[in-house]
Structure 1
Amino acid sequence: MPSTAFQDCYPDDFAHCYGCGKNNEHGHHLKSYWDGDTTVARFTPQPYHTGGVPGNVYGGLIASLLDCHGAGSAAAAACKAEGREMGSAPPMRFVTASLKVDYLRPTPIDGELEVRGEIVEVKPRKVTVSLSLSAHGEVCARGHMIAVRLPDSAAGQQ
């Protein structure tokens, strides 16, 4: 895996996201990378990420991880499609237009979670990403995201 996460290429004024912003001291600091033709991120939940069922992760955390990994994956895929490096000017920033999450089974809190993304479609202003979240090698949740590109004027270029 490359040493620079997608999210670390975001301009500082767009690096404050609770889920993945490097400049949010209280956030999750999710880091996403290419792994062949798919994307991957890993996250270790803490005891306070518990949900309504003891020993399992809160569903909102799962949605948050899928959301941030999906948006980062969309930006990376769009850059790749244009033959650009992440972080090149103007920066490409994507936001979630739609996120559907299917919770397949309880997600254990006692270990690292793996989030994977498969790029389904890249268009100039929209990227579709299929997502999964696994614990202990079992898929616990699946997601489907449509991410839209922010205009360059809103993505850090003034």
Structure 2
Amino acid sequence: MYVTLLALHSLIRWVVLAGLLFAVFRAYQGWFTNRKFSRFDHSIRHWTATVVHIQFLLGIALYAISPLVDYFLHNFREAVHQRDARFFGMEHSLMMLLAVVVITIGSAKAKRRPTDIEKYRTMAVWFTIGLLIILTSIPWIFSPFTNRPNFRSF
């Protein structure tokens, strides 16, 4: 179960990143060109937030069964000084929670803005902040914090 969830979480990361990049691109493009906020843009906003929430739920499930997190929680005094244990037990999870909150707020605010340009601007700003938090908190293969493979097998 753990290996399957880990592989799925790793795979969905790419869907989240692609969705966020596309949503941010559309938001800036619409903002700077004064385009009408279309049904397609509403769909992008909605589905991007939805995929982020699905990934977060997978992350919570993974957090609950991870042996690394279990070690961190039961050996906090020692584990807080170990980079991998601290990253997954505390840093990664808190930063991703923050990113989900930022993206959710941005999606809700954009949905309720009265003008198209305000919708695009709100979506652009909040989704960009969420994307930057996510990009800095993923355990990339080149990350100085901790690293994991970019693709995991099932």
TM-score by length of 1: 0.29
- For CA contacts below 8 A with separation 6 or more, give which structure has more relative contact order: 2
**Larger fraction in helix:** 2
Higher gyration radius (CA): 2
TM-score by length of 2: 0.30
**Larger fraction in strand:** 1
